[in-house]
Structures are given as C-alpha cells and as structure tokens.
Amino acid sequence: MMPDSHIDGEPGLFQYRDAAWTRGPVKYEHLQALCGEHLSIDLDVDRKAFWFFFHPTPVPCFNPGVLKEILAVQAALKAARCQIAVDPDHVVGLRWVVVGSKVEGVFNLGGDLALFLDLIEVQDWHALSHYATDCIDTIFNHVEGYGAGVGTISLVQGRALGGGFECALASGTIIAEEQAVLGLPEILFNLFPGMGAANMLARRVSGHRTDALITAGGQWSARQLFEWGVINQVVQDGAGVGAANEWLDRYGEHAILHQRMKRLHNPLTYSELVGSINEWSVAAMGISPRDQKLIKRLRRAQGGLGSADEGDS
C-alpha cells in the first residue's frame, strides 16, 4: 500500500481508497471528476486501455497540481483493481495504461524548478522531500502495473526532460515520434536525476550507457535512444497515437506477459526510489548560489518552451 500523498499536507487525496465503491469497480465518471486543469483521461473500451494525458499549467512540468491529480486517479484505479464501470451494466477490466501529453511539442519538462528554488532558498528539506515522494509514488504506481499487472506504454511526442524522461522510463514500452527529444540535465547544476532514472535505465541498457546518459547532461533524439535500446519504437511525427493503438492490437497479451516477467525477474522496488530521493533532497539543499542561478535560467527556459510550443500549435 502506497503512503498517502504529501502534497500540501492534504489528507483525503486518497479518499476513494476507503469509499464504498472502491470495493468494486470505479465509475469512469468518478475518475473524470478527479481530473482538473492539469490532467485528462480517456478510456478505450475496445482495447481495454486507459490513457493519461498531461497538460499542466502554466508550465508543462510536474507541479504539485498535476501530481495531485495523477495520484488521485492512480489511487482510485489501484483500489478498484483497474476495474472501471462505464455504466451500470458494463465493467471494463483494464489491460493497458498509456501516458501521453496534450501540450504541443512537449511530453513533460520535468520537475517544478520554481518550487525547487523556493524550497532551497528557505532550506525546507521536509517540503522538498515530500514533493519528491509524491513524484516517486506516481512512478512506482505505474512501474508496478497498478497492482493489477496491466501493461504500460509511454507515448512521447515532444520534449521529455529530467522528470519527464523519468516518467517515460516508468512504462514497460516507450513509443516516440521523430520530433521527440529526451534528456537528463540535472548534472548541469550539480544534481542528479533523483526520481529513479538510474534505476530504470539500468534495467534497459548497460551500466556504461546509463552512466553516460546521466552524466553527459545532454539531450538525445528519439532515433538515438532507439538505437541504444532505451526506446522501443520510433514513428513519424503525428503518428504516435495510431502507433500506440497498433502496438496494443498487434502485441496484446504477449506484451503484457513480457512486461510482467520483467517486473518479476528484475523488479524496481519502492525502497530503491526512496533511497534515491533521500540522497537527492540532501544534495539539493547544498547546491551553490552559482547553481541556483543556473536553475533560474533553466526555469525561464522551461517556461518559454511550454508557452512557445503551445503557441505554435
């Protein structure tokens, strides 16, 4: 059982865990009600696939608002064992959960750098650690298949940086469009990706490749990462949703079984993720004024990427 969310210290974020209807299927309308300005969902009844779509505002990053909405929907899915009531006579047992984005040209730009700076400035380690815990809770729920052994896919149609890259890595399958650019910039300000990048990359590629991806601080194209074995499939721009559906149709139960076997034989444990955020939170509190200035510049760039991409749609 995952711990309750720490965002804003709000009890009741997981209120549906104990609600009467969680003893059986969760109503789709209840899941929709848990979403707001940062998250949308969709249900493909025929494919038994549940879609998360990110659209955080004002910056497409993992701010507390989007984390709150993700965690609430995840908790409801887990409590219902991924059984969704479409109507009183029709229950869908999910086989897949897919994550994507509705922000043009952006999957997700990672952590909330403005929040990081505020908490580092006042040296509020506890609040930063709580934020990080919410991040790894979303990662772990997805990695372990929502307690129901579902298959997972990340559809990357734009930039996935820092925590956005880590979010993509949480899925058993990653499909990316040619336009996608992924990277882990944390080393540029003397931090490391603390929400499980090293753990998840090590389950996909060699230790040498993992080290290179984390320590270079660079950004890579979808094609490069496909050649290195990080991404499963690269498709033309605009073809991502169709490719994800084709993957579900073509591989189906075989792909789900393959993901389950990988989880069984090389599981990502919650304690691994906790250890990572503990180290990350301590390191973040000690970064220099110079590095804080760099984070401020990256924060401005982060905001510019989001607004520019939204304007180009």
Q: Contact, 129 vs 116, CB < 8 A?
A: no
pLDDT at position 23 is: 66
Measure the CA–CA gap between 4 and 72, rounded to whole angstroms: 10
pLDDT at position 306 is: 56
C-alpha radius of gyration, the chain, whole number: 18
Q: Contact, 103 vs 180, CB < 8 A?
A: no
In a domain, 1, yes or no: no
In a domain, 281, yes or no: yes
CA-to-CA dists, residue 193 to 79, 140, 228, 280, 282, angstroms:
30, 15, 19, 8, 13
In a domain, 83, yes or no: yes
> Edge to edge, what strands does the sheet with 219-221 contain?
106-108, 159-161, 181-183, 219-221
Strand-pairing partners, residue 43, are 50
In a domain, 308, yes or no: no
Say which amino acid occupies 8.
D
Pairing of strands 49-54, 39-44: antiparallel
Measure the CA–CA gap between 53 and 103, rounded to whole angstroms: 9
In a domain, 230, yes or no: yes
CATH of the domain at 199: 3.90.226.10
Helix (H) or strand (E) holding 41: strand 39-44
In a domain, 310, yes or no: no
CB atoms within 10 A of CB 164: 27
Give how many domains the chain has, as a whole number: 1
Helix (H) or strand (E) holding 259: helix 240-265
pLDDT at position 254 is: 87
Q: What is the separation, in whole angstroms, between the first and last Cα of the chain?
A: 41
Profile the chain (313 residues) by mean pLDDT over runs of 10 residues.
39 37 82 96 97 95 97 97 94 97 96 94 96 97 95 97 97 97 93 93 93 92 96 97 95 88 93 95 94 89 58 33
In a domain, 2, yes or no: no
pLDDT at position 11 is: 32
In a domain, 312, yes or no: no
Which domain does 71 fall in, by range? 7-303
pLDDT at position 18 is: 39
